[in-house]
Chain A
Amino acid sequence: MAQPEKKAGLLKRTSSSKKPLKEKVLLMYEQIFTKEDPSKSNPRFWDELFLMKVNLEYLEGKLESLDGDEVMKVKDNINSLFQHCVQALAEEHQIRVVNALQTLCALFRGVHQKNRSATGFDIINMLMGFDKAELRMKELMESLDALLCGDGSQSLKSLCLKLLLCLVTVTDNISQNTILEYVMINSIFEAILQILSDVSSRAQHGYDAVVLLALLVNYRKYESVNPYIVKLSIVDDEPTLDGMGMVIHHALTEYNRQYRDKEEENQGGFFSTLTSMVGSMFIADADEKLSVQTNEAILLALYEAVHLNRNFITVLAQSHPEMDMAAAPAVPVPSSPATPLGTTPPSLDLMNNPELPLDPNLQTSNLLITFLKYSSIVMQDTKDEHRLNSARLCLIILTCIAEDQYADAFLHDDNMNFRVNLHRMPMRHRKKAVDKNIPSRPLVCAVLDLMVEFIITHMMKEFPMDLYVRCIQIIHKLICYQKKCRVRMHYTWRELWSALINLLKFLLSNETILLSKHNIFQLALQVVNLFNMFITYGDTFLPTPSSYDELYYEIIRMHQVFDNLYCMVLRVSTNAGPWKEPASKVTHALVNVRAIINHFNPKIESYAAVNHISQLSEDQVLEVVRSNYDTLTLKLQDALDQFERYSEQPREAGFFKELVRSISLNVRKNVSLSTMSQDVLLKEFSSIS
């Protein structure tokens, strides 16, 4: 304890300058890794051990270096070490508790590092011994629960959470971590909730707690009954849920702010003065830099909350003042470079403040708005795997939201208007929208804007088919709600129509390439059916009669796309082949669109002929449309307003497994016990002990 400077080497595995055998603790470790029971020679061995500063690196290294036989030899001592660690947790002396926590961490990691291939049961046996495992883990979890819920030191709580994160992420695949079975039996769910419900503990540990919860929920999600899923689904304590929402909100806001800072950095200086051509090259370049690492763990937490807990939906709409602006000057960016996934919690100062700060420049915001902004950033670039996953998860969350009755109600609430500045991909042919001009509208408009934005920006060779399908589903679900509840949004539907038609056009022109990988007919069918919704049910949700006219105008104007689509699907459906059936569905779905085109086109042509006009103006076309409705008959198609409800299993199970795996790796990499310097702890405890 005489060398506080040595803490620097605590976890850095790479540092080679070991000074073994100098510290007493290392000698004691040596003793453990012998066959002899160390307490035989020194009855106070265990007492003394936990007074020593832990050398995680050495301990882990030692555990890793053991091979099978040796393990069996020292098993008793390791079991004994584990047992004494657990016992030490219950002690009053906080230094012992800290050391025990860190030692446990090293034990879990070291044993797993070595035995990647070993079965969970072997590992349990090695650490605790089969016969004792249940008891030991029960004691451990109870101690951790007590520490987390008690009034003790914040650093201790933080260490407990880190130990838990460490334990949860020792295996790549969380479901293979057999030790977690004990965490299921001895639930620490309530402790996590308590951390989230309390304002001050939430500020310090909320982030870790939320990530931990998200991971625990994913343990053997599909195979067995996970009590964390059950419990999370029935939480109805609003302060707790709000707290969880705040943590997520803050993490996402932090991300948005970082992104914007980078964006501004890149826009500054000479880049902006370059010509558009060169500029666009640089933008592509800048894009790389702009990709602040996405935060999948927090997104997963948001997903689980939205998906599992129906009370959480209200939290989405809970208003907070816009934090990113206020936080920027007051709080320095956390110094750790690994902010998004590191375990240093984002600064949560503002969360502590129950009164809304009084700043006229503050726009009120809520989790949903922040999430939409976040999604708009993430969706900009789906090239790399992480971002693709994040974008997918964003869309899945939006799907869940769009299906929720309550969420729909506030999305469409006429009284809740917000300006949502979505980030738009810089593109050559369009200028960046001026932020200030966005009108204040119900939130559903922002969701639709985001979907439209996605549709028009992702028509590329690496076609993200499943994202498109999700995107169209979200629009469909929203429209179904509007139709059912007769909500008439004053939305510029035209933008959506033209985006959808362009999508069809893209599918047509890249038919051969796309068809080799995807079922484009499914997507085409969805798009056409969206049009069918508008055509046959437009009276229930369109804002004005003239918007119905505009729909017809748009279809007639772009009739070639529909004509070509019809030709294509007809061709495919008449040929035998794998696409015969899906293509023929599209043919049938096109009935009404074709009826409209076939009905009005001749009328328009004759109008032009009669009036000797070569090019009809929009108003003239609309006039023709208006006067010829009555002779047009449409066919009512079934089940247009039905949709399949989202279900995670079985379709999304694979995605979530992979996602959780990647999150686990990331969390493991970034959990660092070294952030907790011995110094700080000593200072904190010196008064106590």
Chain B
Amino acid sequence: MGDTELEISPAQLEELQKSPSASSTSTTSSLSLPSSPSSGPRPSSSPSTSEGLPTSSPPLDVISEGVGEPILVIDTEVAKKACQEVLQKVKFLKADGEVSSASSEPVLVNGTSHPESTNGRKPPKISEEEAEPLKNVRCRQKNNSSKQSLLLRLFESKLFDISMAISYLYNSKEPGVQAYIGNRLFSFRNEDVDFYLPQLLNMYIHMDEDVGDAIKPYVVHRCRQSISFSLQCAWLLGAYSSDMHISTQRHSRGTKLRKLILSDELKPSSQRIRREMPQPPPSCPPPLHHCQGMSGHSLSPSKRTHQRSKSDATLSISLSSNLKRTASNPKVEACQDEPVRLTPQREFIKSLMGIGKRLATLPTKEQKTQRLISELSLLNHKLPARVWLSTAAFDHHVVRVPHTQAVVLNSKDKAPYLIYVEVLECENFETSSVPVRIPETRIRSTRSVENLPDCGITPDQRASSFSTVPNYDNDDEAWSVDDIGELQVEFPEIHTNSCDNISQFSVDSITSQESKEPIFIAAGDIRRRLSEQLAHTPTTFKRDPEDPSAVALKEPWEEKVRRIREGSPYGHLPYWRLLSVIVKCGDDLRQELLAYQVLKQLQIIWEQERVPLWIKPYKILVISSDSGMIEPVVNAVSIHQVKKQSQLSLLDYFRQEHGDFNTEEFLTAQRNFVQSCAGYCLICYLLQVKDRHNGNILLDSEGHIIHIDFGFILSSSPRNLGFETSAFKLTSEFVDVMGGLDGDMFNYYKMLMLQGLIAARKHMEKVIQIVEIMHQGSQLPCFHGSSTIRNLKERFHMNLTEEQLQVLVEQMVDGSMRSITTKLYDGFQYLTNGIM
């Protein structure tokens, strides 16, 4: 059916091409023209696109060959756009097939006579389309009005970035502009667009059809390329559609697109090509080879161990009959699981969420922890699989969840939990083969007691590590000289007689070393060593069944990685990595995602403007409107945990962890503290982050503070008790760490705030648009009321001079310092939640 429709298209194309240009919206026509090959940003951007591609999805093995021939790629880009554009005009809802065929075009570019990649209708159309740009160029030249050309020049200039594209997409009411930008999306780097994915999808769901039509081809195209993108889209679409009324939701565009994605019909078109052409063109093998190399590598160790275990059984039993049946229990899933592209990951997420739900029903932390561990150990049986954590920055396969390391986090009625996940980095998680399972106990082939670091101390080493006391014997009471004489006389005798049942390894304590001088050690040394070793270990928190996460989070990340790696059967593999993730079930993370985007944007802005503010946006994965995952901040514990465990003031804790004043470590930590504090104060002010108690503020091992939990931002505040009226949280304890009100560091803190505010103000639009677009159709509490955006804008104080801003900052700091509400709020939290 698609074929017949498309058959007509060439004819229609011509017509359509004329009609818009004839219509009154001349802007549209000129803008709808795909930028000519010679346009500025294109040559630079398209190669980078193709460079970015091979890592993300399979079809691009084919495209990536174009890297060597940038000019050709540009041509196809143009052709592709033209094609899509026209198709949108025609409002082919079946456009999906078209897009995919566009993505497969590079084969054509290659010059190889292409064997009808998509239904044989391609070649004639291409010629058609390639002819079009020329015509369009002519048209555009005719209708060149100054305003349009200005806009066009902007769109084609190097400065036109994704942020601007989103902004025009959102603000422009012109379908032509929207369609043009929809096409321009293809030319941005995937990662850049990904950042605005929530905005794009929210526009798709909640804005008018033109915007939706402009966005859809891009989304569909990306979905075809990437499983990860598909799932992310599906989840976000689900989450952002949830605020609609249930009746409209079912038929909404977002729901339909979500269904389409989840039905897994959006397969990469190149799979078809591959099947048709078993021999890929000579220029494309490198990426494939690489994949094989990777997989070959990850396979080899387990193969080796298997052989090892066989050779352990040195006996000449034929194993053929044994193997016949073990082969029927295949441990590795079939590698190319086309029909279930999305299933493994969805199942993985589903089981994680299921665990969260079940944990929530258990009454005590201890039971939750035990259940969590046992549930995860069952989950382990299904790993490795083609699953991954979207919060990671690299492609990988999850191979194991070290279940005993998982902890339940503090929460009153929900059961968020933190898991560590062992992964093997790979070239491309969609195409690289899934690692082979290695049984738990296989670890012993790589590590034995003897290999444990600083554990296998031989008696000799041990003796030398003690301060040896050679016959130091001023104390007659220790033992009499006779005793020693007796011992020495007895040695040989014992040796000759010790051929009884007890073997050479017996508990016999006085064998074999008779030739050596007896070694003496001081009891005091043992005692001292014991206390020193305990004091020397980095301060750990005490295990508290009511707060199981404190210990786990306090352990330095590096150490945890080393420890888990040692205990893992996969630990010896070179691409082994450890990740961690917080699984939240029953919580809406959409606001968190919004906060992440704003923080990230501000971080970029400050970096760009060279303001040394430090903030740590942590990644958020929204799975539905009430579940998701969070990337944990490593090496950080909450200030509440710090105070409860150490029973020290914050300043004293700093001194305990980093050394006394004026040591370099302390000063570094203090500077980190100030820079992060200033950053987060600004964030708290701009976003109106509320619920700032010490359980929601982390302190990392370098002295940075990190605010977490953006559940109350913008227009929402907890329980509307009117607490926390100050601009941000600045307790006297914080000021103490900064060196007091008169210290240089405190002035530095205020100066940073001012600089940060000025920088943020300069790029206000970028921040506002993130929030504003998400406002569309949203019922989130942070958008409560009508003035959310206006108030946000006002907090940037565009009308103030820098001097006035400085006064403002002073006022805010003063206000927060004196704010009794902060203190009150802490007290309130202590009373209600036991948070110090």
Query: Which residues does A use to contact B, with CB under 8 Å?
Result: 149, 187, 189-190, 193-194, 197, 225, 227, 230-231, 233-234, 236-240, 242, 310-311, 313-314, 317-321, 356, 358, 360, 363-364, 366, 405-406, 409-410, 413-418, 440, 476, 481, 484-486, 488, 522, 525-526, 529, 532, 535-536, 538-539, 542, 544-545, 548-549, 581, 584-585, 588-589, 591, 594-596, 598-599, 602, 629-645, 651
Shortest CB-to-CB span from A360 to chain B, Å, is 5
Please name the residue on chain B nearest to A584 by beta carbon: B490
Q: Give Cα A261 to B805, complex, Å.
A: 78
6 contacts between A and B (CB under 8 A): A360-B361, A405-B448, A535-B526, A585-B510, A591-B487, A632-B523
Contact across chains for A320 and B374 when beta carbons are under 8 A apart? yes
Q: Is B153 an interface residue (CB 8 A)?
A: no
Contact across chains for B530 and A418 when beta carbons are under 8 A apart? no
Q: Give Cα A19 to B393, complex, Å.
A: 83
> Apart from A484-B455, A525-B507, A598-B479, what are 19 other A-B pairs with CB-CB below 8 Å?
A190-B321, A231-B313, A237-B331, A320-B374, A356-B375, A360-B361, A405-B444, A415-B405, A417-B369, A417-B370, A484-B452, A486-B454, A488-B534, A585-B509, A589-B509, A629-B522, A630-B523, A636-B462, A645-B505
Contact partners of B498 in chain A: CB under 8 A: 581
Contact partners of B378 in chain A: CB under 8 A: 319, 356
Contact across chains for A629 and B527 when beta carbons are under 8 A apart? yes
Contact across chains for A602 and B449 when beta carbons are under 8 A apart? no
Q: Is B286 an interface residue (CB 8 A)?
A: no
Q: Give Cα A366 to B370, complex, Å.
A: 11
Contact across chains for B463 and A633 when beta carbons are under 8 A apart? no
Contact across chains for B479 and A233 when beta carbons are under 8 A apart? no
Of residues 492 through 509 on chain B, the ones whose CB sits less than 8 Å from some CB of chain A are 494, 497-498, 501-503, 505-509
Mark the stretch among B233-241, B264-272, B322-330, B818-826 that contacts chain A: B322-330
Contact across chains for B523 and A629 when beta carbons are under 8 A apart? yes
Q: Give Cα A320 to B530, complex, Å.
A: 38
Q: Give Cα A313 to B545, complex, Å.
A: 27
Contact across chains for A642 and B455 when beta carbons are under 8 A apart? no
- In this complex, which of B406, B443, B459, B466 has the most chain A Cβ atoms within 10 angstroms of its Cβ? B459
Interchain CB contact (< 8 A) of B507 among A242, A356, A364, A529: A529
Contact across chains for B521 and A633 when beta carbons are under 8 A apart? yes
Contact partners of A544 in chain B: CB under 8 A: 534
Interchain CB contact (< 8 A) of A529 among B326, B475, B478, B509: B509
Of residues 509 through 568 on chain B, the ones whose CB sits less than 8 Å from some CB of chain A are 509-513, 518-524, 526-527, 529-531, 533-534, 543, 545, 552, 567
Contact partners of B367 in chain A: CB under 8 A: 360, 363
Q: Give Cα A364 to B370, complex, Å.
A: 7
Instruction: Decide: A238 near B381, CB < 8 A? Known: A638-B512, A643-B507.
Output: yes
Q: Is the interface of A mostly helix, strand, loop or mixed?
A: helix
Please name the residue on chain A nearest to B545 by beta carbon: A440
Interchain CB contact (< 8 A) of A635 among B477, B519, B526: B519
Chain B interface residue count, CB cutoff 8 Å, equals 95
Q: Give Cα A488 to B543, complex, Å.
A: 13
Q: Give Cα A60 to B72, complex, Å.
A: 90
Of residues 106 through 159 on chain B, the ones whose CB sits less than 8 Å from some CB of chain A are none
Interchain CB contact (< 8 A) of A644 among B444, B502, B552: B502
Contact partners of A234 in chain B: CB under 8 A: 309-310, 312-313
Contact partners of A237 in chain B: CB under 8 A: 326, 329, 331
Interchain CB contact (< 8 A) of B509 among A227, A588, A651: A588
Shortest CB-to-CB span from A421 to chain B, Å, is 15
Contact partners of B375 in chain A: CB under 8 A: 356
Interchain CB contact (< 8 A) of A630 among B363, B459, B522: B522
Contact across chains for A318 and B317 when beta carbons are under 8 A apart? no
Please name the residue on chain A nearest to B314 by beta carbon: A230
Q: Give Cα A532 to B406, complex, Å.
A: 37
Contact partners of A231 in chain B: CB under 8 A: 313, 317, 322
Q: Is B743 an interface residue (CB 8 A)?
A: no
Contact across chains for B507 and A526 when beta carbons are under 8 A apart? yes
Instruction: Decide: A406 near B443, CB < 8 A? Known: A358-B361, A632-B475.
Output: yes
Contact partners of A236 in chain B: CB under 8 A: 306, 309, 439
Query: Which residues does B use to contact A, with CB under 8 Å?
Result: 306, 309-310, 312-313, 315-317, 321-322, 324-326, 329, 331, 358, 361-363, 366-367, 369-371, 373-375, 377-378, 381, 404-407, 437, 439-444, 448-449, 452, 454-456, 459, 462-463, 466, 469, 472-475, 477-479, 483, 487, 490, 494, 497-498, 501-503, 505-513, 518-524, 526-527, 529-531, 533-534, 543, 545, 552, 567
Please name the residue on chain B nearest to A589 by beta carbon: B509
Interchain CB contact (< 8 A) of B567 among A189, A409, A481: A409
Contact partners of B518 in chain A: CB under 8 A: 635-636
Contact across chains for A630 and B452 when beta carbons are under 8 A apart? no
Shortest CB-to-CB span from A666 to chain B, Å, is 30
Instruction: Decide: A545 near B441, CB < 8 A? Known: A189-B322, A415-B404, A644-B502.
Output: no
Contact across chains for B521 and A536 when beta carbons are under 8 A apart? yes
Contact partners of A193 in chain B: CB under 8 A: 325
Please name the residue on chain A nearest to B444 by beta carbon: A405
Q: Give Cα A522 to B502, complex, Å.
A: 10
Contact across chains for A227 and B505 when beta carbons are under 8 A apart? no
Q: Give Cα A548 to B532, complex, Å.
A: 13
Shortest CB-to-CB span from A414 to chain B, Å, is 7
Please name the residue on chain A nearest to B512 by beta carbon: A638
Instruction: Decide: A644 near B505, CB < 8 A? Known: A234-B312, A544-B534, A581-B494.
Output: yes
Contact partners of A414 in chain B: CB under 8 A: 543
Instruction: Decide: A484 near B449, CB < 8 A? Known: A233-B312, A634-B522.
Output: yes
Shortest CB-to-CB span from B703 to chain A, Å, is 28
Please name the residue on chain B nearest to A545 by beta carbon: B531
Shortest CB-to-CB span from A561 to chain B, Å, is 19
Shortest CB-to-CB span from B299 to chain A, Å, is 16
Shortest CB-to-CB span from A246 to chain B, Å, is 12
Q: Give Cα A313 to B439, complex, Å.
A: 11
Contact across chains for A594 and B455 when beta carbons are under 8 A apart? no
Contact across chains for A644 and B523 when beta carbons are under 8 A apart? no
Contact across chains for A311 and B441 when beta carbons are under 8 A apart? yes
Contact across chains for A364 and B312 when beta carbons are under 8 A apart? no
Instruction: Decide: A310 near B444, CB < 8 A? Known: A636-B519, A643-B505.
Output: yes
Contact across chains for B439 and A311 when beta carbons are under 8 A apart? yes
Contact across chains for A633 and B321 when beta carbons are under 8 A apart? no
Shortest CB-to-CB span from A483 to chain B, Å, is 8
Q: Give Cα A100 to B259, complex, Å.
A: 58
Interchain CB contact (< 8 A) of A405 among B309, B312, B449: B449
Contact partners of B472 in chain A: CB under 8 A: 633
Shortest CB-to-CB span from B316 to chain A, Å, is 8
Contact partners of A405 in chain B: CB under 8 A: 444, 448-449
Contact partners of A440 in chain B: CB under 8 A: 366, 370, 545
Q: Give Cα A233 to B378, complex, Å.
A: 24
Please name the residue on chain B nearest to A581 by beta carbon: B497
Contact across chains for A638 and B321 when beta carbons are under 8 A apart? no
Q: Give Cα A56 to B521, complex, Å.
A: 76
Q: Give Cα A599 to B490, complex, Å.
A: 24
- In this complex, which of B370, B475, B523, B533 has the most chain A Cβ atoms within 10 angstroms of its Cβ? B523
Contact across chains for B530 and A548 when beta carbons are under 8 A apart? yes
Contact partners of B529 in chain A: CB under 8 A: 539
Contact partners of A416 in chain B: CB under 8 A: 373, 404
Q: Give Cα A522 to B501, complex, Å.
A: 11
Interchain CB contact (< 8 A) of B520 among A313, A314, A584, A633: A633
Contact partners of B483 in chain A: CB under 8 A: 591
Contact partners of B545 in chain A: CB under 8 A: 440
- In this complex, which of A405, A417, A635, A641 has the most chain B Cβ atoms within 10 angstroms of its Cβ? A635
Instruction: Decide: A486 near B443, CB < 8 A? Known: A539-B530, A545-B527.
Output: no
Contact across chains for A638 and B526 when beta carbons are under 8 A apart? no
Contact partners of B521 in chain A: CB under 8 A: 536, 633-636
Contact across chains for A319 and B520 when beta carbons are under 8 A apart? no
Contact partners of B510 in chain A: CB under 8 A: 585, 588-589, 637-638
Contact partners of A318 in chain B: CB under 8 A: 377
Q: Give Cα A234 to B323, complex, Å.
A: 12
